[in-house]
Amino acid sequence: MTRIKLCGLSRPRDIETANDLMPDYIGFVFAPKSRRYVTPDRAAELKALLNPRIKAVGVFVDEEPDMVAAIDAIDIIQLHGKEDETYIARLRRLTSKPIIKAFKAPNFEGVNDSSADMILLDSGAGTGKTFDWNIIKDIKRPYFLAGGLDPANVAEAIRRLRPHGVDVSGGIETDGFKDKEKAARFVAAVRKEDNYD
């Protein structure tokens, strides 16, 4: 089954939506430049409302490892900047939480050799656009697919690529906020496609 991650949640109503739809993961963005940024305290408040069966992922961009490791409101760490193998090794000395490393198209160099527990392939940092999926063909390990996914194209992505998981943020928003109806359509599209297996 394709794992589902709804990213960039920032309000109690977003958590209510997640609890209704039961994705595998939700994401809190800790990058201050992002319009979806939440503080660690805000994330803790939101995590307290989250169904414990849903894992919370913290998204970071070139943050100090000590700060990343200190956030208790997350179950998984996602690195979305220029973090290298030295950074990952340093982070592992501070925390046992699983690590997702994001790679941005078209440069997926080092993906197959990354020591991260999971990888994510993206078109960029919240661009809302897909990338040329043909460049994925040489990737040998399971991955999350991100970048421009929405309720209209996620079924095709799963059919063509069979990713380990799909990650959506802007594709389930209206006017910059999470839209419950769009999120429901996205989750339904993924689950319907999985049932065709």
Write the pLDDT tens digit of every residue in 40-68: 999 999 999 999 999 999 999 999 999 99
Q: Is the pLDDT of residue 169 over 90?
A: yes
Write the pLDDT tens digit of every residue in 4-15: 999 999 999 999
Annotated catalytic residues are 7, 122
Stretch 113-134: mean pLDDT = 85
Mutual angle of helices 154-161 and 180-194, in 10-degree steps:
30
Structural domain boundaries in the chain:
3-194
Q: Mean pLDDT for the chain?
A: 94
The per-residue pLDDT for 85 is 97
> 192 is written with which tokens?
């319907």
Q: What is this structure's pTM? A: 0.94
Q: CATH says 3-194 is which class? A: alpha beta
Write the pLDDT tens digit of every residue in 177-193: 999 999 999 999 999 98
Q: Which of these, 25, 22, 24, 27, lies nearest to 10 by C-alpha position?
A: 27
Per the CB < 8 A criterion, the answer to whether 161 and 190 are in contact is: no
The per-residue pLDDT for 152 is 96
Q: Cβ–Cβ contacts within 10 Å for residue 51, how many?
A: 12
